[in-house]
Structure 1
Amino acid sequence: MTSNFQLPRPLKRTQHLAGCRTVRVAILGQGAVGKTAITVRFITKRFIGEYDPTLETIYRHVSSVDGECVQFEILDTAGQEEDAMLIEEKIKWAEGFIIAYSVTDRCSFDEVLRLRFLINHVHSGLKRGHSDAPPPVLLVANKKDLQYDRMVTTEEGDGIAQALKCPFFEISARDSYEETAVVFNLLYREIATSGALSAFRRKVSSKLMDKIPRIPSTATTSLSTRSFSLSSVKDFLTD
């Protein structure tokens, strides 16, 4: 999908963050579709090919989008089968969603409909100010660089996105930082224009969300300047 959106720019660590607008994003999808690779690529501009697929993390990354200071809180879910109550709490936490699948895995593509239904179902029971619209969702097909292993066509992805009425991107986290950045940039704009940030600010406090490790925005410089493996993610955690 072509786009004219300006890429977000990382802010200097010394910049004052009091005026930053915080937006919560959850990346959903089956395991091994590249959710962590997409997230880390956006934060560090580097592609990381090996990581712990069972680890869930909330990344905090500060960027300038259209001249506005934005702090992304990105929930990178494990994508494993889990209790319905657990996934519901994660969906309640987020203001916008990326549903990711791999073009090399048809099962992950088949999961898209269920995840979109869960998002709509959970948020339909929440009070969202004066807005009854579902939260913004982007559909992202990853691993387009693996053409010889492709099992899902671009046309299939575009078709289901049109049926679900959400923007569609086919990207390669391995090959392009720009493609991942445009995804997050557009999702922020969708969230901002939906009114979710001003009309509905959820204060979610739960034992589940409190247990998920958080990497603060001040650690993003370290992430981009060292060899990074998610097995050593605790190196970046603060109390």
Structure 2
Amino acid sequence: MTSNFQLPRPLKRAQQLASGRTVRVAILGQGAVGKTAITVRFITKRFIGEYDPTLETIYRHVSLVDGECVHFEVLDTAGQEEDAMLIEEKIKWAEGFVIVYSVTDRCSFDEVLRLRFLISHIYSSLKRPHSDAPPPVLIVANKKDLQYDRMVTTEEGDGIARALKCPFFEISARDSYEETVAVFNLLYREMVTSGALPSFRRKASSKLMDKIPRIPSTSTVGLSARSFNRSSMKDFLTD
């Protein structure tokens, strides 16, 4: 899928950060598909290839989408097998979802259907006064740069996305910052047009979500804790 998108302009004035809508996004998928790489690429413009796969973090980042200041809270899930209660709380917390698989891993592709079902099933049981619309979900195939290791074709990814009625992107977090920005920009647009966003800022859904570390995009400490890469600390800073 190709999509028009705009890169976020630098937010140079502190007062610009005070206004704008806050949106909650959960990145779901099996381990090692590049969920953290996509998130960090979006926030810092940098590609970092190695992370601790057992940690979960909520990253905070401010971006301009279609001229609107948007405060993203991005839940980077660990992608490990977990009990139903834990995944349910994370899905309830989020207002939009990105399901990621790797084109080099067919098992991660097969997981897309299960995760999409969980989102639909859990949200259908919620009483949401602001909207009856299902939450927006994007399906993202990562690691398209690894063509020689590819196990899932673009046509297969596009096919399952069409069947699930979800927008589809095939990207390389390694090669393209612009592609990761396009994912988050489109998800926000889908959240706005679908009516999935509440008119008020709701509180965290549970004590479980409060325990997950929250890291602003200006922080280098949290990002370094997530990574086992040998790059220096300056690699985590935005330009």
Same fold (TM over 0.5): yes
Identity %: 86
Does residue 230 (structure 1) correspond to residue 205 (structure 2)? The answer is no
Does residue 2 (structure 1) correspond to residue 2 (structure 2)? The answer is yes
RMSD: 2.1
**Alpha-carbon offset, residue 116 of structure 1:** 0.2
**Alpha-carbon offset, residue 17 of structure 1:** 2.4
**Alpha-carbon offset, residue 166 of structure 1:** 0.4
Amino acid at match of 1:129: P
Q: Deviations over 1:155-196 (max 9, x none)?
A: 000000000000000000000000000000000111111112
Aligned partners of 2:13, 2:40: CA distance in 1, in Å? 18
The answer (yes or no) to whether the contact 1:50–1:229 under 8 Å persists in 2 is no
**Alpha-carbon offset, residue 217 of structure 1:** 3.9
Does residue 204 (structure 1) correspond to residue 204 (structure 2)? The answer is yes
The answer (yes or no) to whether the contact 2:44–2:217 under 8 Å persists in 1 is no
What does residue 89 of structure 1 align with? 89
**Alpha-carbon offset, residue 201 of structure 1:** 5.1
Point out where structure 1 has 5 or more consecutive residues left out of the alignment.
none
**Alpha-carbon offset, residue 18 of structure 1:** 2.5
Q: Is 38-47 or 197-206 further displaced after alignment? A: 197-206
**Alpha-carbon offset, residue 199 of structure 1:** 5.0
Aligned partners of 1:99, 1:181: CA distance in 2, in Å? 15
Q: 1:14 and 1:81, CA in 2 relative to 1: closer, same or farther beyond 3 A?
A: same
Aligned partners of 2:43, 2:128: CA distance in 1, in Å? 29
The answer (yes or no) to whether the contact 1:128–1:199 under 8 Å persists in 2 is no
The answer (yes or no) to whether the contact 1:142–1:173 under 8 Å persists in 2 is yes
Amino acid at match of 1:137: V
Question: What TM-score, normalized to structure 1?
Answer: 0.90
Aligned partners of 2:95, 2:137: CA distance in 1, in Å? 9
**1:117-132 alignment runs, 5 A limit:** 117-129=117-129, 131-132=131-132
**1:1-239 alignment runs, 5 A limit:** 1-12=1-12, 14-129=14-129, 131-198=131-198, 202-219=202-219, 222=220, 228=224, 230-231=226-227
**Alpha-carbon offset, residue 9 of structure 1:** 2.8
Aligned partners of 2:204, 2:215: CA distance in 1, in Å? 18
Secondary structure of the 1:69 match is: strand
Q: 1:199 and 1:150, CA in 2 relative to 1: closer, same or farther beyond 3 A?
A: same
Aligned partners of 1:201, 1:21: CA distance in 2, in Å? 9
Q: Deviations over 1:38-83 (max 9, x none)?
A: 0000001110001111110000000111111100000000000001
Aligned partners of 2:32, 2:9: CA distance in 1, in Å? 28
The answer (yes or no) to whether the contact 1:23–1:73 under 8 Å persists in 2 is yes
Aligned partners of 1:150, 1:33: CA distance in 2, in Å? 13
Aligned partners of 2:176, 2:137: CA distance in 1, in Å? 21
Q: Is 12-21 or 203-212 further displaced after alignment? A: 12-21
**Alpha-carbon offset, residue 132 of structure 1:** 2.4
Secondary structure of the 2:24 match is: strand
Counting matched residue pairs gives 229
**Alpha-carbon offset, residue 19 of structure 1:** 1.4
Question: What TM-score, normalized to structure 2?
Answer: 0.90
Point out where structure 2 has 5 or more consecutive residues left out of the alignment.
none
Amino acid at match of 1:38: I
Aligned partners of 2:70, 2:62: CA distance in 1, in Å? 6
**Alpha-carbon offset, residue 130 of structure 1:** 5.5
Q: 1:10 and 1:127, CA in 2 relative to 1: closer, same or farther beyond 3 A?
A: farther
